[in-house]
C-alpha cells in the first residue's frame, strides 16, 4: 500500500464507504439468513458489496435464480423503508463537499430508491452521476458498474480511483483497471492501494492541471 494516489475522477461506493448502513444490513440479512437455516454471522460476511440476489446465489447456490430475484425485491423494500441507524461514515460530509465540483460518480449495488433513502438519511448530497443496480446487468464483483461510471464521466478507467469498503467492491474496481482507496476495516484485508480507517483520515488536494491528489493522513 502507498500513502498517496493521483486521479482525474473518483468513483464512490456508498454502503460502508460514505454511508454507514451496517445496522440496517445486519437486521435485514440476519433475519433472512435465519429464515433460510443459515448461520447468520457467516452469512453477514458475504453480504457486503453485492446486490442481494448475488449474495443469495453465493449462500444458496442450488436455489433457482428467479427465487433470489424475488427475495431480493422484498429485501430491497425492507431496507429502503428502514433507515434507523443510517449515518454518514466519519468525514463523509466534508469529503462530499470537497468533491462536489470534481468529476465523481456514485457506483453502488443499491437500486436508486435505496440509494436515495440512505443518502438522505445520512445527510449527504446525491452525486449527479450515479450507477445504481438498475443500470448494470451484473453485480459487483463484476466491473461493469465501475466501467460505466468512468464512461459516464468521460475518463479512462486508469485515470479513476475507486473508493470501496468490501471484498466484492475492491475486486470489481481492480477488474475495471482502477486503483482503490479502501475505507474501513473490511477493506484492509484486501490490501487496497491506499487504506484509511474513515474519511477523516484522507486529505484531498486539487491541482491546476485537473489532477486530484489523495493522501492518507
Active site residues: 13, 15
- N-to-C CA span, the chain: 14
- The whole-angstrom separation of Cα 145 and Cα 142 is 8
For residue 141, is the peptide bond before it cis, meaning its omega torsion is within 30 degrees of 0? yes
Residue 117 contacts residue 80 (beta carbons within 8 Å): yes
Q: Is 198 exposed, middle or buried (0-12, 13-18, 19+ CB in 10 A)?
A: middle
Place of cell 473518483: 10
What is the number of alpha carbons within 13 Å of residue 17 lying toward its C-beta? 29
Amino acid at each position: 500500500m502507498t500513502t498517496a494516489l493521483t486521479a482525474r475522477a473518483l468513483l464512490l461506493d456508498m454502503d460502508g464507504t460514505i454511508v454507514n448502513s451496517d445496522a440496517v444490513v445486519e437486521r435485514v440479512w440476519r433475519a433472512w439468513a435465519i429464515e433460510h437455516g443459515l448461520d447468520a454471522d457467516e452469512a453477514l460476511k458475504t453480504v457486503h458489496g453485492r446486490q442481494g440476489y448475488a449474495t443469495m446465489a453465493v449462500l444458496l447456490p442450488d436455489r433457482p435464480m428467479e427465487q433470489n430475484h424475488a427475495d431480493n425485491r422484498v429485501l430491497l423494500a425492507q431496507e429502503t423503508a428502514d433507515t434507523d441507524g443510517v449515518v454518514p461514515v466519519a468525514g463523509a460530509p466534508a469529503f462530499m463537499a470537497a468533491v462536489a465540483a470534481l468529476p465523481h460518480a456514485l457506483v453502488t449495488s443499491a437500486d436508486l430508491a435505496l440509494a436515495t433513502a440512505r443518502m438522505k438519511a445520512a445527510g449527504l448530497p446525491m452525486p449527479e452521476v450515479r450507477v445504481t443496480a438498475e443500470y448494470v446487468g451484473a453485480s459487483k464483483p463484476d466491473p461493469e458498474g465501475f466501467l460505466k461510471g468512468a464512461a459516464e464521466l468521460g475518463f479512462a478507467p486508469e485515470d479513476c480511483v475507486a473508493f470501496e469498503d468490501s471484498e466484492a467492491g475492491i475486486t470489481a474496481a481492480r477488474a475495471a483497471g482502477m486503483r482503490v482507496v479502501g475505507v474501513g476495516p473490511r477493506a484492509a484485508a484486501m490490501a487496497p492501494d491506499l487504506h484509511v480507517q474513515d474519511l477523516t483520515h484522507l486529505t484531498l488536494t486539487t491541482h491546476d492541471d485537473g489532477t486530484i491528489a489523495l493522501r492518507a493522513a
